[in-house]
Amino acid sequence: MTTDTASDTAPVLKDGVYYHQFDIVIVGAGGAGMRAAIEAGPGARTAVISKLYPTRSHTGAAQGGMAAALANVEEDSWEWHTFDTVKGGDYLVDQDAAEILAKEAIDAVIDLENMGLPFNRTPEGKIDQRRFGGHTADHGKTPVRRACYAADRTGHMILQTLFQNCVKLGINFFNEFYVLDLVTVKDADGSTKVAGVVAYELATGDLHVFQSKAVIFATGGFGKIFKTTSNAHTLTGDGVGIIWRKGLPLEDMEFFQFHPTGLAGLGILLTEGARGEGAILRNVSGERFMERYAPTIKDLAPRDIVSRCMVQEVAEGRGAGPHRDYVLLDCTHLGAEVLETKLPDITEFARTYLGVDPVVEPVPVMPTAHYAMGGIPTNNNAEVLSDNTTVVPGLYAAGECACVSVHGSNRLGTNSLLDINVFGKRAGRNAVEYVKTADFVALPEDPAKEVRELIEGLRTNEGTERIAVLRKTLQDEMDRKAQVFRTDESLGEVLEVIEELRERFKNVHVDDKGKRYNTDLLEAVELGFLLDIAEVVVVTAKNRKESRGGHMRDDFPKRDDENYMQHTMAYLSGDPHSSSPEDHIALGWKPVVFTKNEAGELRYPPLERKY
């Protein structure tokens, strides 16, 4: 067993399993997890468990910025930021949560600045800000400079800054430990109590039980259900999958965001900050086509709108390239100085992966699967819910794995780095308050039993199915039939494929039978989570017969507020191993929260989204 910081409680070895005890266990060491740890560490014995070294977490891939109405460059206000968040999310945003996000954004940025984050600066020495899609002044009248940034490496800078501060605080890190189960017990009244988590140590193959009073999930997204994605290979939805398998619900899983500017054919992200600096999307004839779709803010419309417009341009024969299958991001007019100083990473990406120099030629781009708006349902205190309102005591979630819901059906750019800081902080702070009065829940007799059976079942399976083949089939089908545009027919077809893959997965073969750094076994476990999550995404998408935000139905192209102005709640019911989703997935609804002004009128009534 290896840790970066020695625990003040030595593990106890019992029946081949290591037992640890902490007040708070945080699963995931990305931005949300480490921000929670900074808040929790000084007030409670805290452990952070991550299947990666913390600075390899996917937060480090975020490029463009973090939104906050600092008004350092132009007039701005948190009310305008709230409006943009609600409108950008196509009104499926819980408006009380959006107000919290926008209000606390300012302190969140200042917190990071005080921790040492090197933001870009104005000539006066203030934090510089730039434009980003969907962010406007005066309730949609004009684009506004709201994104605080560190070149196009903002996520990387946030991750490094948070990690350094965690080290300073002496936070206990358990790196390359893969959490595979949430240990819960049922109270006499049937309610769920949290007892800890079970993790598999990659270096040794040992199992570790972490008993804790509180658990915070901060495990990121699940973009690897798609082939073309900006997500790292590790984003396989482990935390979301664990919650699902424990019988707790998932919220709004049908809403997945496709970022407009992924490198064509690869999905590697080019930040929206490029368009914030003035880059232009063009079709094969050189036309700035976004002027036709969003005449006010053009290329800086929200991501769902821009993605659909790009796909439509290609579908109607105006795509570029030898196969007319992409559009072009034109940065040439920005000049070498801007590209090399404010956008150095994307400039290098284009040169390295496509052999295109953005200084002198436009870059081929197409939408890439980027961000999950849905996930583990929480309230504004980051407490996980077992239904629409009931809190699971001691269980918290923050970041992309959680659905609070501040993003609704479409997340605005720069609100993700904001989300992990605002709600990561809230999760850590509220967990500390909880553990002050909570007792440890007694562990069941063999808390590692389910994980042991999962691991050994996969390791010893003598089946013939190959992990890579099943994963590729899933990702290819999701790309073709459940991406930017969907129909009942396409979703039905991919659902049939998923059910077939779930059956074939029972016969999967793991070549490596060893215990140390068995990545073959790791990929098999991850594939199981991907199949579970893809199924929920497709079932919920099939059930929502409207188009809203990141969920675009060709057969139901209009937004339907009368029937679908509500969150989808998915529940695991019946036999989870049955081949028919109707036998193990139950769907329900949860009301959207609207706020009112002093006169009792809706503060942000759902209007048609025009740009």
CB 126 within 8 A of CB 113: no
For the chain, what percent of residues have pLDDT higher than 70? 98
Q: Are strands 129-137 and 327-330 parallel, antiparallel or unpaired?
A: unpaired
Distance of CA 19 to the CA centre of its chain: 30
- At 52-73, the pLDDT tens digits run 999 999 999 999 899 999 999 9
pLDDT value of residue 3: 46
Tokens describing residue 248 = 């707790």
pLDDT above 90 for 368: yes
- Determine the Cα–Cα distance for residues 458 and 525; give it in Å rounded to an integer: 8
- Residue with tokens 């952070």, as numbered in its chain: 48
The reply to whether omega before 573 is within 30° of 0 (cis) is no
| Rg of the chain, C-alpha, whole Å | 23
Question: For the residues 381-385, what does the mean pLDDT come to?
Answer: 98
CB 112 within 8 A of CB 161: yes
CB 521 within 8 A of CB 512: yes
Residue 339: CB atoms within 10 A of its CB come to 23
For the chain, what percent of residues have pLDDT higher than 90? 94
Q: What DSSP letter does each residue of 134-197 carry, written as one string?
A: EEEETTTTEEEEEEE-STT-HHHHHHHHHHHHHHHHT-EEEETEEEEEEEEEE-TTS-EEEEEE
Question: Would you name the residues annotated as active-site residues?
Answer: 303
Architecture of domain 446-572: Up-down Bundle (1.20)
| One-letter amino acid of 522 | L
Pinpoint the alpha helices (H) of 294-410. Answer: 303-315, 336-342, 344-349
pLDDT value of residue 417: 97
Annotated binding residues for FAD, written as ranges, equal 28-33, 50-65, 238, 400, 416-417
Question: Which residues are CB-contacts of 198 (< 8 A; sequence separation ≥ 6)?
Answer: 179, 180, 181, 183, 207, 208, 209, 210, 447, 448, 450, 451
What is the residue-averaged pLDDT of the chain? 95
pLDDT above 50 for 1: no
pLDDT value of residue 579: 67
Angle between helices 519-543 and 238-245 (to 10 degrees): 70
Annotated binding residues, written as ranges, equal 28-33, 50-65, 238, 259, 271, 370, 400, 411, 416-417
pLDDT above 60 for 209: yes
- Determine the Cα–Cα distance for residues 339 and 363; give it in Å rounded to an integer: 13
pLDDT value of residue 610: 85
pLDDT value of residue 2: 41
pLDDT value of residue 8: 52
CB 165 within 8 A of CB 111: no
HSE at residue 562, side-chain half, CA atoms within 13 A, is 1
pLDDT value of residue 186: 87
The residues that bridge with 207 in the sheet, in sequence order, are 17, 200
Question: For the residues 358-383, what does the mean pLDDT come to?
Answer: 97
Tokens describing residue 446 = 């063999």
CB 463 within 8 A of CB 508: yes
CATH class of residue range 259-366: alpha beta
Give residue 191's pLDDT band: very low, low, confident or very high (50, 70, 90): confident
Task: Given CATH 3.40.50.150, say whether it is the number of domain 13-59+156-254+369-434.
Answer: no
pLDDT value of residue 570: 98
- Determine the Cα–Cα distance for residues 232 and 327; give it in Å rounded to an integer: 24
- Determine the Cα–Cα distance for residues 271 and 88; give it in Å rounded to an integer: 18
Question: Which residues are CB-contacts of 167 (< 8 A; sequence separation ≥ 6)?
Answer: 4, 5
Domain ranges of the chain: 13-59+156-254+369-434, 64-153, 259-366, 446-572
399 dihedral zone (left: phi>0; alpha: psi -120 to 50; beta): left
Annotated binding residues for substrate, written as ranges, equal 259, 271, 370, 411
- At 16-43, the pLDDT tens digits run 999 999 999 999 999 999 999 999 999 9
pLDDT above 80 for 596: yes
Give residue 293's pLDDT band: very low, low, confident or very high (50, 70, 90): very high
pLDDT value of residue 9: 66
- At 70-107, the pLDDT tens digits run 999 999 999 999 999 999 999 999 999 999 999 999 99
DSSP-derived letter for residue 354 is I
pLDDT value of residue 574: 76
